[in-house]
Structure formats: C-alpha cells, structure tokens
Structure 1
Amino acid sequence: MTIAATDRSRAPFACHPSRSRGRRFDQPDSAMRNAFQRDRDRIIHSAAFRRLKEKTQVFVAHEGDQYRTRLTHSLEVAQIARTLARTLGADEDLAEALALAHDLGHPPFGHEGERVLAQRMKDYGGFDHNAQTLRVVTKLEVRYPQFEGLNLTWETLEGVVKHNGPLLTEASGEGDLAWAFTDYDGWRELELDTHAGLEAQIAALSDDIAYNNHDIDDGLRSGLLQLEPLLELPLVGEIFRRVEKRWPGQPRTIVIHEAVRDLIGVMVGDVLEETRRRLDAARPETAEDLRRLDQPVVAFSEEMVLHLAALRRHLFAHMYRHYKVNRMMSQAGRVMRDLFDLYLNDPGVLPTDVQAGMQGAGTAESARHVCDYIAGMTDRFAVEEHRRLFTVQGYF
C-alpha cells in the first residue's frame, strides 16, 4: 500500500481508495497517487473536460466571456465538494473527481441541446447526459493502447451514473434506461438500484449549490434578472439586505458578490447540518450500508428545499424563459436539429473518421454515431459547422 492511499482520515462509511473495487482493466498501482487521485487526473486531462470551456448552460458561449461555462461551473462544484467532503470525512479526491466529471456528457447549448438530442434519439434508445458521461469515460475518450475510455475505478463510474439517485426503481425499469447506459458492458455491475456512495451524493448537492448561485450572479450581471424582485424571495432577499446593511454605499457589483458568497456559505452549512442529522439517525458503518439506505444522506433541510424551490421558480420565469434566452435557445435548437438530420441522412458530409463507424443513412447505429459526434461539440464548433454546411459560400 502506498503512502498516498492512507494519508487522510476518512469516515468508516466513506469510500476508501485502498478498498476500491478496482478498474475494469487491471493496471499497476501508482507509487505517488491513490486510485481516486488518478481518476481525477485522468478526467482533467481528457479532451471532453477541455471542451467544457466552450459549453454553456444558459448563455451560448459566444454571448460573452464573463459568464460561466461548464468548465468554470465544474471547478466551482469541485471546490464546494472538497469542502463538504473534508468536513464530513468523505474522500476528497473522489468527490472532486465526480464534481469535475459530472458534466462531461452534456451536448452544446445546455438544456436545449439535450432536449433536441433526446427528441431526435427517441426512436434509437434516447439520450441522457449522465449516460453520455458514462459513454465518454468508458468508450469515447481514446487515449490508451490497452483499452477504450479512461478505465476509471468502479466507485467513480458508479458516482457518475447514480449521483442523482438510483436509476432502477419500482417506477423505472431496465427498459427505461438510455441506450448509452446499457451499451456499456459492465452496467449491471454498477448496482443501479441503490444510492451512490457518500462522495457522489456530495458532488450532486455541490452542483445544486453552485448553479443556483452562479445563475443569480450571471443573471444580475447580464441584466436578465433585476435585483428588486429577488429581494422578495425568502433567504435570498434576507441575505442581500443583510449585505447591504453590513456594507452601505458599496457598488452593486460588490453587493452581488458578497451576497452570493454568503448564500453559498448558508447552503453549505445547511447541507452539513442536515447530513449529520441523517447520518446520526441511520448510523451506517460502511459505504455499503450507506448505499443500501432508502434515502440519500447528503441533503438540504426541508426549509432549504422550499427556499430553493422559490428561487428556481423565479429563475425559470425571469431568466431561463427571458425572451433573449428564448431567442438564443431557438437558434441553438435549430442548429442541433439541422446538424443531426443532415448527418443522419447524408453521412458523407461527416469527417472520414466519424463515417467509419456508421452503417448507412438512417440506421440506429448511425444515429448513435451522429449523437456521439454532436454531443461532443462545443457551442462555437456547432455554430461554425452549421454555417459551413448551411450557408452558401462563394462558388461552392
């Protein structure tokens, strides 16, 4: 056992790298890094991670460089996840790896891009960004001579797939799984009917904290949100008024930054308090005990859930459905539909290496290759590709 594998104190119900279930393809241990540290590093060095710099959630990438991208969002999620993991005795490296990986499967143009791919793929096995993340890290990243994918540990793959909860429930069976889940040979080994480990649950809540707060920040700075209506919301309004009282006369930008910092702190504190309460009640002794519980242990309090629901309703009405965002998303949807339909029905326009795996126009296998190709695009590349294919330039 290396020093790196034992250098931190972890709770007994945390995931331990020295007790990992291992990788699908055996590889020698590292003398300098434990298994979860290697997973994190492989994710950081992947092409899919680099492409997150020009993928966005609300704004299209070229709308401005001051807004969050999926890359900066993932870094913010990782920072929150490390804080929660350290405080709760979870494995920080695994929590960070899952935070950095959680958006790898998202297509360009945020939720609109996912909606279009789901619609276009409904006859070919569907589309789900978590399933696509699994596909990215087990197949589409081609970096090693011995295997496809990144050959991540079982714990990281489990967390990628189940960080939002079990996939197989009384209401949802195997037939409801997107094809990208079941295309992975080892999908049954991931125990899709249980909760994920502590670190994956931490990454999921860190994602909620990060995007709720950066949407407030980006929304106010873009002008899509107005401060005065936000002040009417529970918790959010209270914290903004508290900051204005603490720092009278400060520029609006400072007030926003301070309020967002305080909001993150309050949400993190709420998760810690509620999680400790649930751990005290459940008393799991191992990571397996924690997975078999009937509810996640990492959670917001009931009061915070209500506050966040009010915030999300406000963001949905005043930001996500703002006419300027609707215009961007309408254009984005058109780009996605046009590219998918053209590629599927005229695969000869695709790059040669993408064509190589296709089996004729309109087939399910071809649709899945097209889906992989489009899902891997950045916002900017998709826009440029659409321009090249649908705008007549010069004399052809």
Structure 2
Amino acid sequence: MTLAPYACQPDESRGRRYSERMSTFRSPFQRDRDRIIHSSAFRRLKHKTQVFVEHEGDYYRTRLTHTIEVAQVARTIAGTLGLNVELAEAVALAHDLGHPPFGHTGEDALHDLMAPYGGFDHNAQAIRIVTRLERHYADFDGLNLTWETLEGIAKHNGPVIGPHASGSHAVKDGGEMPYALAEFNAEYDLELHTHASAEAQVAAVADDVAYNHHDLHDGLRAGLFSEADLLELPVTGPCFEEVDKLYPNLDPTRRRHEALRRVFGVMVEDVIAVAQNRLTSSQPQSAQAIRDMDGPIIRFSKPLYQNLKAIKSFLFTRMYRAPSVVEERKRVTAMINDLFPLFMNDPALLPAEWRADVARVRNETELARVVLDYVAGMTDRFAIQEHERLCG
C-alpha cells in the first residue's frame, strides 16, 4: 500500500534509542506492534477493567478487549486516510499499558498517594513500562520502541507542554510534568510541545470511539439505564429509530446490537470525513507538517462532538456515578490506600525481584516509585487477592 505524504514512512523513522539491526521481514513499526503484543504488561490488560471490577461479569469490557477494539478502529481509519496502519495500531495497542488496577478509580487513588513523590499519570506510566519496566531483552530494558511509537504513546491526546498543550494529560498553569515522563524525556526528547503524528491522533480518536460505544453497551447490560433512555439522546436515538423502522419487533438483544453498531459507524464515518476535508484543504506534505499544526488534524466534527458530550454527560450521571459503581469505587480505593503504605512501611513484603530494586533506592521518593510500579502493575484480581492476604 502506498502511503500518503503526511504519513510516517517506516524508512524515515528516527530510529530506536538503542541501535538494532533492521528486520528482514518486518518494518520498524511492525516490530513495535509485535513487541507490545508479546509484553507482560499487555497480557495483564486481560484482568484490568474499565468501569466494572474484573470479577463482576464475563461480558463486561476489560482493558484488553477495549484495546483490541481501539486497534481495530485505528486500523480502519488509518488505512482509509493513507496513513501507516502498523504505527497507528502500535500506539493503539500500547495506549492503556500504564493503567493500574480498577480503572480510573485506581488511577485517582494512586495520583493522590503519589502527590508528594512526583505524581502519577497512566500515559507517563505507559512510557515507563515500555522503556524501563519490561525486562526481557539482553541488550536493553524496556521494549526499545521507535521514536514515533514512543511519541504517540506520550502525546496522542495532544501536546503535553507549551502553548498548544491540550487533553487530559497536558501540563498547564505552571504544573509539573509527571516524573515518569519528565525523567525519560530528559534523556530522549519526544518533542512534547508539538502534536503527535496523524497515526497517533487516529489512535486517540479510536479510543474515544471505542469507549463511547462499549460504555453504552456495558451500561445497558448492567441495567444502569435502558434502551428507552437512549432514545432520548442524540446519535443513539436516531440509530434506534432506524433499526425499529427496518426491523419491527426485533429481538431486544439484536435490536440493541444493531442500534449500537450504527452509533459506532456514525462516529467512524464522521472522523474520516472531517480528516479528509482537513487534509485536502491543508495539503500537508510530511508527517512533520502534521506535528507542527496548531490543532489536531484527526477529530470529530463540531456537531458530533457536541452530541457526544451530551452522551458522556448522561453516562457520567447514570453509569460512572451510579450508586452501585460509586460503592465499588469506595471499596477498591480503600484497597489501594491500604496496599501502598503497607509496602512503603515494609518493602520486605514485595516479591524478591522487586526487593532488588528497593536495595538500590536512596530516599523515600525512589522507594515510593518502586512501590508504585509494583502496585500499578497489578491486575484487579491480583490486587484483591493481595489485599485479602496481607490485610484480611
């Protein structure tokens, strides 16, 4: 497949931090994708959750199923736009590697606990995992990914610093960059003041598409709201109405699936149409031209963005802050708040391979970062088991 001029060209990659011989059969970005899939952190995603805790049901999305869905959407959009599909997929597969147990609830708890020690951010933790914590290769720590993939992981949501800093991971108003990202960027500049490649932007939008779709599906399955509620919302309402017109008296499960797959399609088609229009008007002639723009090239149209805000507001009230979910959030937050100080006060409780890291620490901050790496790497079920074993 011939790539567009604004795509990241494999033979023009900025390379890897540690020099390696080129593969005979795979491009640099294909190798990145494969290394991510074979990493320990990727396997752990199967027992980490989005909203519901891992043991609550077999049909709810986990971080792994979500990641696979994001990668599928990213491949579709990237391929349609003439972008490098392998790079878009690699960033999509790595985008959630830094998430701790219990989803955003676990992240919030660790963010508070790490406030005195440089903070916690799952994007920054993903960089730490792929550059340091994966220890399988003889010649280096981490996965030794290409600069382009590391850039995509660090700033797929937008520039992290500078006048164009945007997104949930941006550093604004004199705030400090999470130490895990600042530490690596000081050694290997990821140009955090610019936008990421178009491929990384595709991965970010694919993430939005996937979770907007599956959170609706999971919320319905959990009984937190009904199809009748979704008929009152933009996007979802017209999709249900279209299905009812085409298939009167359809089985409820099939009706739900048919409507939500149309919601999925509306989002993907909108992103592609907007990107094609913006690319046609701006005519970028290189991947760097995409990075140097004053805004993202890959995004939803303004009307759909506003409609999705209404859906997110609905989900926030009816799902993320549902009484049953809030109660579970309290329970798992308490687990994290128990485990972290327990290991801080008695590092001998850590497994042997982690105690080797503890032996090298020089102060409390460095100890906290070792404990963080261990706790953040836990799956939901392992965190629950460890809490029961250590705390009763």
Q: Contact 1:233/1:310 (CA < 8 Å) preserved in 2?
A: yes
Q: What is the CA-CA distance between 1:281 and the residue it aligns to?
A: 2.6
1:17 aligns with 2:10: yes
Residue 88 of structure 1 is matched in structure 2 by: 81
For the structure 1 residues 185 and 80, does the alpha-carbon distance in structure 2 shift closer, same or farther, using more than 3 Å as the test? Answer: closer
Instruction: Say whether residues 1:136 and 2:136 are aligned partners.
Output: no
What's the offset of the Cα at 1:173?
Answer: 7.5
SS of the aligned residue for 1:84 comes to helix
SS in 2 for 1:356: helix
- Counterpart for residue 367 of structure 2: 366
Tell me whether 114-123 or 272-281 shows the greater mean CA deviation: 272-281
2:145 is aligned to 152
Deviation (angstroms), 1:188: 5.2
**Alignment partner for residue 79 of structure 1, among 69, 72, 90?**
72
Task: Please tell me whether residue 302 in structure 1 is matched to residue 302 in structure 2.
Answer: yes
By how many angstroms is 1:175 displaced? Answer: 5.5
1:48 aligns with 2:41: yes
Query: C-alpha root-mean-square deviation of aligned residues, in Å?
Result: 1.5
1:301 deviation in Å? 0.3
Question: Any idea what SS the aligned residue of 2:254 has?
Answer: helix
Aligned 8 A contact 2:17 2:188 in 1: no
Q: Which amino acid counterpart does residue 40 of structure 1 have in structure 2?
A: R
Deviation at 1:176, TM superposition (A): 1.6
Q: Deviations over 1:67-98 (max 9, x none)?
A: 11000000000111000001000000011111
In structure 2, the residue matched to 1:383 is: 384
Q: Deviations over 1:247-300 (max 9, x none)?
A: 111111111111111111111110011111221232211001110000000010
Describe how 1:1-396 pairs up with structure 2 within 5 A: 8-170=1-163, 172=172, 176-184=176-184, 189-358=189-358, 363-391=364-392
Moved more, 378-387 or 346-355: 346-355
Q: Secondary structure at the match of 2:193?
A: coil
Query: CA–CA distance in 2 between the matches of 1:154 and 1:70?
Result: 25
Deviation at 1:236, TM superposition (A): 1.0
Q: Which runs of 4+ in 1 moved over 4 A?
A: 185-188, 359-362
CA drift at 1:182: 1.7
Question: Could you state the TM-score of these two structures normalised by the residue count of structure 2?
Answer: 0.95
Q: Contact conserved, 1:345 with 1:362, CA < 8 A, in 2?
A: no
- Which AA in structure 2 matches 1:268? V
Helix, strand or coil: the match of 2:233? coil
> For 1:26, what is the secondary structure of its paired residue?
coil
3-state SS of paired residue (2:285) = coil
Residues 276 and 185 from structure 1, CA distance in 2 versus in 1: closer, same or farther, beyond 3 angstroms? closer
Equivalent position of 1:5 in the other structure: none
- Structure 1 residue matching 2:297: 3-state secondary structure: coil
Contact 2:151 2:196 in 1 (8 A): yes
The separation in 1 between residues aligned to 2:176 and 2:186, in whole angstroms, is 17
Query: Aligned with 1:183: secondary structure?
Result: helix
User: How many angstroms apart in 1 are the aligned matches of 2:277 and 2:296?
Assistant: 12
Separation in 2, partners of 1:136, 1:187 = 16
* Counterpart code for 2:204: A
1:185, CA displacement in angstroms? 5.6
Report the more deviating stretch, 317-326 or 271-280.
271-280
Any gaps of 5 or more consecutive residues in structure 1? Answer: 1-7, 392-396
1:123 is paired with a residue whose SS is helix
Equivalent residue of 1:83, what SS? Answer: helix
Q: CA deviation at 1:57?
A: 1.1
Equivalent pairs, count: 384
Secondary structure, counterpart of 1:190 in structure 2: coil
Q: State the AA in 2 paired with 1:71.
A: L
CA contact (8 A) 1:181 1:187 kept: no
Q: Which amino acid aligns with 1:389?
A: L
How far off is 1:356 after superposition? 2.0
Long gaps (5+) in structure 2: 164-170
* Aligned partners of 1:54 and 1:69 also within 8 Å: yes
Aligned-pair identity (%): 53
The answer (yes or no) to whether the contact 1:344–1:362 under 8 Å persists in 2 is: no
Structure-2 residue corresponding to 1:4 = none
Q: Is the 8 A contact 1:36 1:94 kept in 2?
A: yes
Contact 1:168 1:174 (8 Å CA) reproduced? no
> How far apart are the structure 1 equivalents of 2:348 and 2:92?
38
How far apart are 1:186 and its partner, in Å? 5.2
- Cα distance in 1, alignment partners of residues 38 and 188 from structure 2: 28
User: What's the counterpart of residue 168 of structure 2?
Assistant: none
Change in CA separation of 1:361 and 1:320 when aligned onto 2, cut-off 3 Å: farther
TM-score computed with the length of structure 1 as normaliser? 0.94
Deviations 1:329-367 (A, max 9, x none): 111101111000111112122112212222679800010
Deviation digits for residues 20-55 of structure 1 (CA, Å, limit 9, x no counterpart): 000001111111111000000000000000000000
- What is the rounded CA distance, in whole Å, between the counterparts of 1:229 and 1:202 in structure 2? 30
Whether contact under 8 Å (1:114, 1:127) holds in the other structure is yes
